[in-house]
Amino acid sequence: MLDSDLTVDLAIVGGGFTGNAAALEAARRGATVAMFEAKTIGHGGSGRNVGLVNAGLWLPPEQVIEQMGAKAGQRLMGFLADAPARVWALIQNHGIDCEAKRNGTLHLAHSPAGQRDLARRHRQGRAMGWPVALLDASETARRTGSTAFHGALFDPRAGTIQPLSYVMGIARAATAAGAHLHEGSRVSHIRRHQGTWHLTVNGHHVRAANLLLATNAYFDGIEMGFQPRIVAVSYFQIATAPMPQAMRDRILRRGEGCWDTHTVMSSFRTDAAGRFIIGGIGNLEGPGRDIHLGWARRKLKQTFPELADLPFEYDWRGRIAMTSDHIPKLVRFGPDALAAFGYSGRGIGPGTTFGTLAAVALLENDDTVLPVMPVDAHDERLTTLREAYYESGAILTHAVAARG
């Protein structure tokens, strides 16, 4: 907790993947850096993440290029194709104990139409030089232990982690490199004065030459004349009791992380203790809790019948920062300042990459290192209405899905 005034080269607001990766890189380069987290490290969407270390974006390559243009789209996809390798390198180099499984991910086809979509993604990915493989229903059943899917797209670059352990590991590495990380330190006011950023934190005064706003979906109303414009969508996770060994030998026995092609998607993976973790869009802390829990139970019964009666031990939810075009944003909201947000459910690889490179760009005054060029402003319309739409849509879908 910050308890005195401070002057640094780089101030960072937000203690998730982006903020901690930036703090580590800045300290590694010899800069003085302070990160301020209102709660605890990983309290937000980073620690409450699905745990899938994906390569690329949720969007297929051709759509990224259509929206961004060939040069910018290929640049971003190139950086994010390498994002899992950056994550694995951090884990190895800093000895981060986070249940890392570099065994790939499976994007699962829930229907014939879903398999056709995966075939298009496979074709586009191969054209980009990505080592993805399209699996048929038989191979998918062999890998997942379920006959519920029509096929899958396998990405060997990807994998799974325990996300809170990962972000805390980055924080420890940043501290060891000399960064000052302050939990329980809410930034209440930010202003630019005489060429320097001035932050009010726990009533103390912080001066910074450079500023990175890394709150993503957890911006809490800092008085600063700028607010990241996103649609905040809840995504929950439910962990079962550990599976018996016989089930562990059949279900996701290679340890791939999975998500499906449903419009209201779901995800699942296993952890080191053998728990099966199922996730979906929705807020377990809202009025739809019982509906979401009921859906998860039915989904397990439908997809993995042998898990139908396995007790639920834990549940949690985080917020995802969505943008209309599902492209991450860097906004230069003032001199020597950047805001990074909008990973649209792909926080681990992009957050690590954007945070690391944002620190470099700010300290060296060099935007050419960034995955996307900063914009002066980004707006999202009808955010409150769209957030309500996502949650109500998830409740309605989960109320009727996986029945029968």
Domain count, the chain: 2
**Segment 76-105 mean pLDDT:** 98
- Residue 382 falls inside a structural domain: no
Percent above pLDDT 90 for the chain: 96
Statement to judge: residues 270 and 340 lie in one domain: no
- Residue 83 falls inside a structural domain: no
- Residue 368 falls inside a structural domain: yes
* The pLDDT of residue 402 is above 90: no
* The pLDDT of residue 404 is above 80: no
Domain assignment of residue 241, given as a range: 100-160+232-323+388-400
* Residue 312: alpha-carbon gap to chain centroid: 24
CATH code at position 15: 3.50.50.60
Statement to judge: residues 170 and 287 lie in one domain: no
**Segment 193-220 mean pLDDT:** 97
Residue-wise DSSP of 313-372? EEEEEEEEEE-TT---EEEEEETTEEEEE--TT--HHHHHHHHHHHHHHHHHT-GGGSSS
Let me know: does 346 contact 279? Beta carbons within 8 Å.
no
Statement to judge: residues 254 and 286 lie in one domain: yes
- Residue 253 falls inside a structural domain: yes
* The pLDDT of residue 372 is above 60: yes
Statement to judge: residues 280 and 214 lie in one domain: no
Q: Nearest Cα to 171, choosing from 359, 42, 350, 356?
A: 42
- Assigned token pair, 262: 């449903």
Is the whole-model pTM more than 0.85?
yes
- Assigned token pair, 105: 């991910």
- Judged on CB neighbours under 10 Å (0-12, 13-18, 19+), 76 is buried
How many residues are given for the chain? 404
- Residue 59 falls inside a structural domain: no
CATH code at position 275: 3.30.9.10
Statement to judge: residues 254 and 317 lie in one domain: yes
- Residue 295 falls inside a structural domain: yes
Round to whole Å and give the CA distance between 329 and 373. Answer: 9
DSSP secondary structure code for residue 217 in this structure: G
- Residue 69 falls inside a structural domain: no
pLDDT number for residue 401: 82
* The pLDDT of residue 227 is above 80: yes
Round to whole Å and give the CA distance between 139 and 143. Answer: 6
Round to whole Å and give the CA distance between 241 and 310. Answer: 6
Residue-averaged pLDDT of the chain: 96
DSSP secondary structure code for residue 105 in this structure: E
Q: Nearest Cα to 238, choosing from 207, 264, 269?
A: 269
Let me know: does 323 contact 350? Beta carbons within 8 Å.
no
- Assigned token pair, 150: 């029509």
Three-state SS for 270?
A: strand
* The pLDDT of residue 283 is above 80: yes
pLDDT number for residue 325: 95
Statement to judge: residues 147 and 181 lie in one domain: no
Statement to judge: residues 220 and 334 lie in one domain: yes
Statement to judge: residues 236 and 117 lie in one domain: yes
Statement to judge: residues 144 and 241 lie in one domain: yes
- Residue 258 falls inside a structural domain: yes
C-alpha to C-alpha distances, 104 to 1, 125, 132, 342, nearest whole angstrom: 38, 15, 10, 24
Distant-in-sequence, close-in-space partners of 96: CB < 8 Å, separation ≥ 6: 90, 165, 166, 169, 170, 172, 173
Q: Amino acid identity of 228? A: P
Statement to judge: residues 150 and 172 lie in one domain: no
**Segment 101-113 mean pLDDT:** 97
* Strands (E) located in 214-297: 231-240, 257-260, 266-270, 276-281
Round to whole Å and give the CA distance between 340 and 7. Answer: 23
Q: What is the pLDDT of residues 185-202, one digit of tens each?
A: 999 999 999 999 999 999
Round to whole Å and give the CA distance between 36 and 18. Answer: 12
Let me know: does 302 contact 308? Beta carbons within 8 Å.
no
Statement to judge: residues 133 and 244 lie in one domain: yes
Statement to judge: residues 239 and 361 lie in one domain: no
Distant-in-sequence, close-in-space partners of 304: CB < 8 Å, separation ≥ 6: 145, 146, 251, 276
Q: What is the pLDDT of residues 128-183, one digit of tens each?
A: 999 999 999 999 999 999 999 999 999 999 999 999 999 999 999 999 999 999 99
